[in-house]
Amino acid sequence: MFESFLPSEVSQLTEETSIALARQIRRAPIPTSISAEPIETAYVHQGEGGIPILLLHGFDSSVFEFRRLLPQLASQHETWMVDLLGFGFTDRPINVLFSPEAIKKHLYDFWQAKINQPVILVGASMGGAAAIDFALTYPETVAKLVLLDSAGFAAGPAIAKFLIPPLGYLATEFLRKPNVRRSVSLKAYSDSSFVSEDAELCAALHLKLSRWNEALIAFTQSGGYNFLRDKIAQIACPTLILWGDFDRILGTKDAARFESAIANSKLIWIKQCGHVPHLEKPEITAKHILEFVA
């Protein structure tokens, strides 16, 4: 029913969208310049027709983040999502750097191996920063860009200052605690009823994979996407900015900053919504994305 690389706890999922997504997660060995051996890369592919849509998850997350958005998009468009290097259910090889540069190169190699045509690139939170970096480096791969409560202007995670030896391991173990992750989830939503047992499980399954903490420490110590701020104005492709009007993770000021910095952009507020419109308001989020694509 589920692929063997997924932790056994996946069988405890209860919501239909979560179970459906778990059954679709696959891994493929992606040859890449950053590793001597192909990297086993987790992804989901559903739907057909139109310009492909590629979804990028946020910090310390996985493809499960798009479990409610995927059916909405895939009903009309070919849709892909991938676990970025160092995150989710993608393998974390020894002697591979976990940095924005490595993430970008690995993502390009995945795109080349699996898609190899321009995409609608959708990035949520940190995934938005990864999408911006990718679009600036490989403009020929991105037809349009969608930013969901995106990082880019904001500084990196506050936990970064604790991810130094010998505190790094202890900091990630703190981040692993269910009550800590629950408090983050409660802050991410406008409606706290979304923080169900199933949602908490979806947000924590990838923590069971080996080297989760090493990769998280390495990525954060690399500085993350703090270098993007002065490059955002260079984005040339049409860009849709979707932002929850009750975002308590990144706040709401950066939404207007993105709209002002990106010449060919449009900002749409998702009402009564927190940091994760793709989870809290998937139908409305999908509607705006599909209209933008069309």
Q: What is the C-alpha separation between 150 and 276, in angstroms, rounded?
A: 10
Q: Please state which of the ranges 109-118, 132-141, 149-158, 167-176 shows the lowest mean pLDDT.
A: 167-176
pLDDT in tens, 162-192: 455 555 666 777 778 889 889 989 999 999 9
For residues 144 and 293, the answer to whether their CB atoms sit within 8 Å is: yes
Residue range 8-293 in CATH 3.60.15.10: no
CA distances from 120 to 53, 73, 100, 131, 277 (A): 5, 11, 20, 10, 18
For residues 146 and 120, the answer to whether their CB atoms sit within 8 Å is: yes
Q: What is the C-alpha separation between 133 and 229, in angstroms, rounded?
A: 11
Q: What is the C-alpha separation between 176 and 189, in angstroms, rounded?
A: 20
Q: What is the C-alpha separation between 202 and 196, in angstroms, rounded?
A: 10
- pTM check: above 0.85: yes
Q: Give residue 162's pLDDT.
A: 46
Domain ranges of the chain: 8-293
